Structure 1
Amino acid sequence: MADVNLWLLVGIAIVVVGFFLKLDSIAVVLIAAVVTALIGGMKFNEILALIGKSFVGGRGASIFIITLPIIGISERYGLREQAVKLIQRIGNLTAGRVLWVYNIIRQFAAAFSLRLGGHPQFIRPLVHPMAEAAAQSELGEGQKLDEKSIEEIKAAAAASENYGNFFGQNMFAAASGVVLMASTLSENNIQAQPTEIAMWSLPVFITVLILSGIQFTLLDRKIRKRGKN
C-alpha cells in the first residue's frame, strides 16, 4: 500500500478553522487550495496557471453578478415601492396567492430552461414586497402585520424561488442536472436517456405545485388568524 501524505489534510483543517472563525469563505477556500497544492508538490506558477484556467473556463457562472448593480439602482429609485403600489391596485390578492403564482411561473420557466427568477433579482426587490403588500391590504388599513407574519412571508417568498428552481429544471432534458444523472447511470451500465429522466420528473413537478399551493394557503390562514387576535 502506497504511503499517504497526511499533510495534504492541512487544507481541510484550514477550511474548518476559517469557517469556524467566520472568515471570508472565498479567501479561506482559495488559501486552503493553494496550501494543499504546495504540499502536493506543485509549483506556485503552476497553481496560478490552474486557477486562471479554471476561472476562464467557468466565467459564465459569474455573469449574474453584472445584474446586481442594476437591481440595486432600481431599488434605490423605487422598484419595491412600485411593486407595492401595483399589488394595492389589484383586489382579492393575498400573500399566498402572489407566492403561488410566482412559484408556478418559476417552475414552468425552469422547465423550459428560461433563466427567469433568482433571490437578488426577483425575490428581494419584487416578490417579497408584493406578497407583504397583499397581506397588509387583506388585513386593512387599521391593522399592521406582526413581526412573525413578516418573517414567515420572507421565508415563504424564498421558498417559492427554491421550489420553482429545484423542481422545475429537471423537466428540461438538456439541463445540467439531468445530463449528469444520465451520464452517471450510463457509467454504472444503466441506460437512461435525458428525455426519460425529464419525463419521470413530471410527477414531482406536479406534486410540488400542489403542495406549495397548500403551504401558501395555510400561510394566508395563519396571517388572517393573527390579524383577528
Structure 2
Amino acid sequence: MQASPSLLTLFGLAVIVVGVGARINIMLVIILSALTTCLCSGASLVAAIATIGHYFTANRYMTVLWSILPLVGLLEHAGLPQASRTFIGRLGVNTPGHVLWLYFLLRQITAALGLTSLGGQAQMVRPLLAPMVEEAALRMKKQPLPDELSQKLKAEAAAVDNVAVFFGEDIFLAVASILLMETVLENAGLRISPWHLSFWAIPSALMAAAVTYIRMKRLDRAIGRRNRP
C-alpha cells in the first residue's frame, strides 16, 4: 500500500522531533523540516527552495526582531546581569520561587493586556530573570550554586515565561490565536464571539497560575532541603 503525499509530509514533523532531540542547531532543523515537507508533497528541490524563499521575503518584517539580539549582547557585556542581581538583592526577595512567581504574574497580566513583547527568552529571561533567580538562590543557599542547580533555575525561568504568555495572551481579544479559533469554528458552522473565547480563557490562565505557584513552592523547598546537612 503506497502512502499518500499528504501523509508523507508528516516526515517534516519527524525531522523536527529528531533534530530537537539531537540538539542540532534549531534554524538548520527548521530549514531541513521545511525542505522535507515540500519534497514529500511532490515538489522539486528547486520549487521547495523557491517556496521557502517566497515565505521568508513575504514575512521579512519578522527579521526586524533579530535586531534586538545585538542590543541584548551589548547590555550583557556592559553588566546588565550584574545590575539585575544587585536589584533583586535590594528588593529583599530571598527565594528563587518568589522571583519566578512575581515574574509569572507580571508576564501573564501584561500578556492578557496584549503586551506580549514586554517579555521573552532573549530580551528578558537570559539577561534579567535568570541572573535574578540565581542571585536569590545564592542568598538562600549562602554558598556557590552547583552547575546542575544553576541549569535547572535557568530552565525554570524559561518555562515560567513560556507558560505565562501562553495562557495569558488568549485573554486579549485581538490576539491571533483568538481570531484563528473564531475562524475555524465559523468554518465548522459554529458562530462564537471573540469576547466569549477570551472570557473562557480566564479559567485556564488562573489554573496555570495556581499550578505555577505550587511548583515554585516545591522548588524553594527542594533547594532548602539541599542546604540541610
Shorter chain as denominator, the TM-score bin is 0.7 to 0.9
**Aligned pairs, number:** 221
- Change in Cα spacing, 1:10 to 1:147, as seen in structure 2 (3 Å) is closer
Gaps of 5+ in 1: none
Partner residue of 1:139 out of 137, 141, 146: 141
Q: Distance in 1 between matches of 2:9 and 2:79?
A: 49
Superposition pairs of residues 68-83 of structure 1, within 5 angstroms: 68-83=69-84
Runs of 4+ in 1 over 3 A off after TM superposition: 3-6, 8-13, 15-23, 29-37, 46-53
Gaps of 5+ in 2: none
The root-mean-square deviation of aligned C-alpha atoms, in Å, is: 3.0
Deviations 1:6-45 (A, max 9, x none): 6x949948x74994985722442354366457x54x795x
Is structure 2 residue 156 aligned with structure 1 residue 156?
yes
The alignment-based identity, stated in percent, is 30
Amino acid at match of 1:73: L
Q: Distance in 1 between matches of 2:64 and 2:99?
A: 28
In structure 2, the partner of 1:25 is 29
Deviations 1:46-92 (A, max 9, x none): 76664444223322333321111111111112111111121223324
Q: Distance in 2 between matches of 1:88 and 1:10?
A: 52
Normalising by structure 2, we get a TM-score of: 0.82
Is structure 2 residue 169 aligned with structure 1 residue 169?
yes
Counterpart of 2:118 in 1: which secondary structure? coil
- Change in Cα spacing, 1:91 to 1:176, as seen in structure 2 (3 Å) is same
Normalising by structure 1, we get a TM-score of: 0.82
What's the CA shift for 1:148?
Answer: 3.6
Amino acid at match of 1:108: I
- Change in Cα spacing, 1:167 to 1:76, as seen in structure 2 (3 Å) is same
Q: Distance in 2 between matches of 1:189 and 1:34?
A: 31
In structure 1, the partner of 2:128 is 126
